[in-house]
Chain A
Amino acid sequence: MEQLRTIGRELAMGSQGGWGQSKEFLDLVKSIGEARSKAEEDRIIARELEHLKRRLADPDVQRRKMKELLLRLVYAEMLGHDASFGHIHAVKMTHDESLPLKRTGYLAVALFLDERHDLVILVVNTIQKDLRSDNYLVVCAALTAACRLIGEEAIPAVLPQVVELLAHPKEAVRKKAVMALHRFYQRSPSSVSHLVSNFRKRLCDNDPGVMGATLCPLYDLILGEPNSYKDLVVSFVNILKQVAERRLPTSYDYHQMPAPFIQIKLLKILAVLGSGDKQASGHMYTVLGDIFRKGDTASNIGNAILYECICCISSIFPNPKMLEAAAETTSKFLKSDSHNLKYMGIDALGRLIKINPDIAEEHQLAVIDCLEDPDDTLKRKTFELLYKMTNSTNVEVIVDRMIEYMINITDHHYKTEIASRCVELAEQFAPSNQWFIQTMNKVFEHAGDLVNIRVAHNLMRLIAEGFGEEDEGADSQLRSSAVDSYLRIVGEPKLPSSFLQIICWVLGEYGTADGKYSASYIIGKLCDVAEAHLTDDTVKAYAISAILKIFAFEIALGRKIDLLPECQTLVDELSASHSTDLQQRAYELQALLGLDKNAVESVMPADASCEDIEVDRNLSFLNSYVQQALENGASPYIPESERSGVISIGSYRSQEQQETSAHTLRFEAYEMPKPSLPLATSQSSMSTPITNLVPVTEPGYYKEDHQTSKSQPPGDAVSGEFGVKLRLDGVQKKWGRPTYSSSTPSSSTSSKQTTNGASHSDGGGSSSQPRESSYGSKRQQGTEVSAEKQRLAASLFGSAAAKADRKAQASRKTAKDSPSTEKVATTNVTAQPVKEQVIPAAPPPDLLDLGDEPVSSNPPSADPFSQLEGLLGPASAAPVLSGTPATGTSKAPDLMSIFSDDVPTGVASGSTDPTLGDVNSSSHKGTTAVASKKGPSLQDALQKNATARQVGVTPTGNNPNLFKDLLG
């Protein structure tokens, strides 16, 4: 009996319109709809999953039943729950002989798995088999699944068959085969590169659908290497011409436009092919002109084509007539009331000003309007346009606005983007140092942790180097204004770490440079910073190094300063820190305090962060030292090539040293020690290039103060008598690198002291060198880019100064204007629904849904959301009854208001509504009402309604929206 019933249900499933699922499934959906909270929904699904797990494991379950279970599994996973236990059943179902079951299997597999999943390997075989099927529907299903599931490794397994299918008699199969190949190309271009000619062939397919599909892969291919496809320009232009002349079957028409999606794809392709190619572009002008002429600005799809045309024209070789047409359309977009079109207009403008910057001038007011608009999307698009338009005259206005906007948003992704744009614009166009520093301060203050740390390093470099002008005065003015502003800001709470790093570095480097502030004042501030950020080791490291620098400068100037008590506490604390880096810095500071003036001057020369480091790779400065050692009886260095089997003393010693260091903790993989050891160490002990880890040594430095500076680990060079100390070096190799590399301030200062042509080998030195050089290369890149951009900007806005003024004026003006325009908009809103009144409204309670529309005037429905919460439920009389009187006057939601070309199709009059409102109306009455609402197919609607009632869903229920026609 049960079986019979199931079969009956399954039979019903085939009929359109009815919901063929079992009662169980309907109940599940219903209960989820009624769930009052996410937690309740989760409980229901968890129960369902338990149930499904049991049922799926049951070997006796019928295949047809299995199909439904799988769909329920899909449903559960769609709602965000893990249904992985059932994935294997989906895989199994793809093996099924019957097409409906197989398709269900493929559907579920494609939804559950992706190419990275382990189970895919079990599907590949089935796909392979199904691609050879005689039934084209099976082939279609397999191809659809292949697009989703075939990853790079599996491509060769199915590729031959897919290629064969390109010549299949059924156009649906050819089309899907093209799309599958396209997908394979995206996954792994090399695996299908030899098949590219097939796409060209398919371009001439008799079926427009296949031709249209072929444009997708061709677009990608052409984007990759446009030059190989220049021969197709004429063909594409021809196709576009024919499409625009309505040569394709009318079934491809969409809202009275001939095959618009194909037109758009073709325009995209032409844009790529014509880019910078005068000859190719020449072929295109006529057809583009035609499309502009035929353009339909009243429909959305017409505008989509026009927009694509503008993109194409702005990309290909410029033609004045075309540009004029494009500018005209753009201004129509900008003047439109629709936000969508304004958005497209702003985007189009951004493209056109690259070719002719003057176009922007005409639209200043519209642009400012968009900038002031409450719609975030539009605002951001406008910022993008401004970013493209920025030059040295308008940079202040634009960047200020950007920052103002940036401060108020919470979207991290966008905040990061706009912050880095501000930085970029400021670096490029800053009109004055003062402004630059202030702008950067604002950016760092509000988004410091979001911008790339390189930006912070860049800023330090900029302050150190100045703007590259020869004028030292300007540079020092820049620095002292930076110091001023930082001293003002530094006390504020919650500054981002990267900003504090900059502050510390600049204060350390330049805090006392102009003599305005006393050393103890700056040191006090720096101590405060370190104290206030106990958990941030990087900031503490920057602070302590900055303090060290201040001390060094003071000592070098011959002034005597005492360690403030708070500073002493800090140093003590850091000397005992868990971070070796902080420890080292603290000890360095203490050591430095013990040095005399001369020593300090050479360790920490003032303002030398920009000096170049010269590396004496031959270590020629060691010669005298070596000479002396030889005279004292040391054995001479023998290059390895001349060495015999006997281990010389030197290499023996270094080996020993290496071994001692080997007793310390080692974290790298084991190496092959014996043969390579003498080589490595003896190399570094003499004149050959430096070992990989400690780049440069500077013996002059040691000669001068190796007695005093204990914290400086001696370099390899001193292998002889200082053998014991060499161990330190070994240790440093293991430990030092990572710690040192975070020590920008000390490293950049210490690297300055290279008066005699080599940097010394302290930790800072070792890391500073690569860093400096990376700065260097970056800087170079930066100037290249900025030069290019500046050239671009210069060509964009010739008369920028006047314009900027006007813009400022305009902005003031529109700020005042905008409320009034908004008012107009609201009146539109209210006016529109009245017009739409004729639309046969879905059941009356719908009206209550309009919570967000100003017209909702039905008090009883006070909380539309509570209604929406429940999907289905017992018909509740109250809202319906109270809704009834309102039906006459209130309006159906304005679903299609954006798309004015969509004429409401319903014919039923509003008079059905009152009947519906009567909850107690006979079922007959109710059905007719719904039927008439259901539009053309009365039978479908009747059936649908009957099913709905069976499950307990009625249009008068809690959520009548579910019954509302999506298409109005």
Chain B
Amino acid sequence: MINFVLLISRQGKVRLTKWYSPYTQKERTKVIRELSGLILTRGPKLCNFVEWRGYKVVYRRYASLYFCMCIDADDNELEVLEIIHHFVEILDRYFGSVCELDLIFNFHKAYYILDEILIAGELQESSKKNVARLIAAQAC
């Protein structure tokens, strides 16, 4: 199960957060701080995973934006890496060559899209076409 999704820019600015397990505001701030320190400092050729407090955080960098997902210890890291990519591809399709600025100013749309892909921390739809259709129907 995915416990939370974080989008952090290279300079540590938060672009999007979605929490599927309960965290208080204080814990959230702490988690973000801890993970930015952990992930943003990693070199380019290392694993895209870090072990963190008994969980695993899978991250992937696109341009200067890091997409991070925190998963349980027994989840498949490579799969989650592809879930991230799946999300980015759908964003790309929706925004038409998505860039970070799109996500900054349209974060609510990014949330809607994420809600169509993940629900309660599980992947609910793996067809890009279906997601695109639903998002279009909602014309948010």
Interface string of A668-710 (1 = CB under 8 A from B): 0000000000000000000000000000000000000000000
B101 in contact with A209 (CB, 8 Å)? no
A380 within 8 A of B: yes
B62 in contact with A137 (CB, 8 Å)? no
Total B residues in contact with A, Cβ cutoff 8 Å: 78
A966 in contact with B92 (CB, 8 Å)? yes
Main secondary structure of the interface of A (DSSP, over half): helix
Q: Which residues of B contact A825 (CB under 8 A)?
A: 45
B32 within 8 A of A: yes
B122 in contact with A78 (CB, 8 Å)? no
B51 in contact with A304 (CB, 8 Å)? no
What's the least CB distance linking B3 to chain A, in Å? 13
A343 in contact with B99 (CB, 8 Å)? no
* B63 contact from A144, A208, A893, Cβ within 8 A: A893
Q: Which residues of A contact B86 (CB under 8 A)?
A: 254
B76 in contact with A935 (CB, 8 Å)? no
Q: Which residues of B contact A17 (CB under 8 A)?
A: 95-96
A940 in contact with B96 (CB, 8 Å)? yes
Q: Which residues of B contact A829 (CB under 8 A)?
A: 44-45
Q: Which residues of A contact B96 (CB under 8 A)?
A: 16-17, 934-937, 940-941, 944
Please, how many angstroms separate the alpha-carbon atoms of A144 and B112 in the complex?
A: 10
B105 in contact with A29 (CB, 8 Å)? yes
Interface string of B50-75 (1 = CB under 8 A from A): 11111000000111110000000000
Q: Which residues of B contact A893 (CB under 8 A)?
A: 63
A260 in contact with B101 (CB, 8 Å)? no
B105 in contact with A21 (CB, 8 Å)? yes
What's the least CB distance linking B101 to chain A, in Å? 4
B95 in contact with A304 (CB, 8 Å)? no
A183 within 8 A of B: yes
* B29 contact from A21, A80, A255, A962, Cβ within 8 A: A80
* B115 contact from A144, A180, A375, Cβ within 8 A: A144
* B76 contact from A115, A137, A308, A376, Cβ within 8 A: A308
B126 in contact with A963 (CB, 8 Å)? no
A301 in contact with B119 (CB, 8 Å)? no
B82 in contact with A948 (CB, 8 Å)? no
A175 within 8 A of B: yes
- B94, B102, B128: most-surrounded residue (chain A CB, <10 A): B102
A404 within 8 A of B: no
A261 within 8 A of B: yes
For the A-B complex, the count of residue pairs with Cβ-Cβ distances under 8 Å equals 249
Interface string of A273-316 (1 = CB under 8 A from B): 00000000000000000000000000011011001100100000
Residue of A nearest to B80 (CB): A304
* A111 contact from B49, B82, B101, B111, Cβ within 8 A: B111
Within 8 A of A (CB), among B65-119: 65, 76-79, 81-83, 85-86, 88-89, 91-92, 94-102, 104-108, 111-112, 115, 119
Q: Which residues of A contact B35 (CB under 8 A)?
A: none
What's the least CB distance linking A627 to chain B, in Å? 64
Given contacts A26-B105, A182-B122, A212-B126, contact A965 B97 (CB under 8 A): yes
What's the least CB distance linking A962 to chain B, in Å? 4
Please, how many angstroms separate the alpha-carbon atoms of A92 and B62 in the complex?
A: 37
A308 in contact with B79 (CB, 8 Å)? yes
Residue of A nearest to B137 (CB): A137
Q: Which residues of A contact B139 (CB under 8 A)?
A: 14, 100
B124 in contact with A963 (CB, 8 Å)? no
Please, how many angstroms separate the alpha-carbon atoms of A208 and B125 in the complex?
A: 9
A116 in contact with B128 (CB, 8 Å)? no
Residue of B nearest to A829 (CB): B45
A853 within 8 A of B: yes
What's the least CB distance linking A37 to chain B, in Å? 12
B120 in contact with A147 (CB, 8 Å)? yes
B76 in contact with A304 (CB, 8 Å)? yes
A489 within 8 A of B: no
Given contacts A147-B119, A183-B120, A965-B99, contact A307 B22 (CB under 8 A): no
B78 in contact with A304 (CB, 8 Å)? yes
Within 8 A of B (CB), among A847-862: 849, 852-853
B14 in contact with A80 (CB, 8 Å)? yes
Interface string of A176-215 (1 = CB under 8 A from B): 1001101100100000000000000000000011001100
A79 within 8 A of B: yes
A103 in contact with B44 (CB, 8 Å)? no
Q: Which residues of B contact A487 (CB under 8 A)?
A: none
What's the least CB distance linking A762 to chain B, in Å? 43
A307 in contact with B76 (CB, 8 Å)? yes
Please, how many angstroms separate the alpha-carbon atoms of A944 and B50 in the complex?
A: 36
A536 within 8 A of B: no
Residue of B nearest to A953 (CB): B101
B122 in contact with A340 (CB, 8 Å)? no
* B138 contact from A103, A343, A378, Cβ within 8 A: A103
A962 in contact with B79 (CB, 8 Å)? no
B124 in contact with A175 (CB, 8 Å)? yes
B22 in contact with A116 (CB, 8 Å)? yes
Residue of B nearest to A26 (CB): B105
Please, how many angstroms separate the alpha-carbon atoms of A962 and B15 in the complex?
A: 11
A962 in contact with B101 (CB, 8 Å)? yes
Please, how many angstroms separate the alpha-carbon atoms of A75 and B29 in the complex?
A: 14
A216 within 8 A of B: yes
Within 8 A of B (CB), among A332-350: 339-340, 342-344
- A74, A413, A965: most-surrounded residue (chain B CB, <10 A): A965
A962 in contact with B106 (CB, 8 Å)? no
Please, how many angstroms separate the alpha-carbon atoms of A965 and B88 in the complex?
A: 10
Residue of B nearest to A260 (CB): B82
Given contacts A212-B126, A964-B99, contact A179 B120 (CB under 8 A): yes
A261 in contact with B79 (CB, 8 Å)? yes
Q: Which residues of B contact A413 (CB under 8 A)?
A: 52-54
Residue of A nearest to B28 (CB): A80
Given contacts A179-B124, A254-B86, contact A853 B78 (CB under 8 A): no
* B43 contact from A252, A303, A852, Cβ within 8 A: A852
B78 in contact with A29 (CB, 8 Å)? no
A967 within 8 A of B: yes
A852 in contact with B95 (CB, 8 Å)? no
B97 in contact with A895 (CB, 8 Å)? no
A898 within 8 A of B: yes
B105 in contact with A895 (CB, 8 Å)? no
What's the least CB distance linking B17 to chain A, in Å? 6
* A176 contact from B95, B101, B119, B137, Cβ within 8 A: B119
Please, how many angstroms separate the alpha-carbon atoms of A301 and B111 in the complex?
A: 25
A79 in contact with B14 (CB, 8 Å)? yes
Please, how many angstroms separate the alpha-carbon atoms of A895 and B65 in the complex?
A: 11
Please, how many angstroms separate the alpha-carbon atoms of A911 and B47 in the complex?
A: 35
What's the least CB distance linking B48 to chain A, in Å? 6
Residue of B nearest to A341 (CB): B78
Give 26 CB contacts A-B under 8 Å. A16-B95, A25-B105, A74-B108, A80-B14, A82-B25, A103-B112, A103-B140, A107-B111, A107-B112, A172-B130, A179-B119, A180-B120, A209-B124, A252-B126, A261-B123, A264-B76, A304-B76, A340-B47, A343-B77, A377-B50, A869-B11, A871-B13, A963-B100, A964-B64, A966-B99, A967-B92
Known: A261-B82, A937-B96, A966-B92. 11 other contacts (CB 8 A): A147-B119, A182-B122, A183-B120, A340-B49, A342-B47, A344-B78, A934-B96, A936-B96, A963-B101, A964-B63, A966-B99
Q: Which 6 A-B pairs have the closest CB atoms?
A: A304-B78, A19-B105, A940-B96, A937-B96, A966-B62, A251-B129
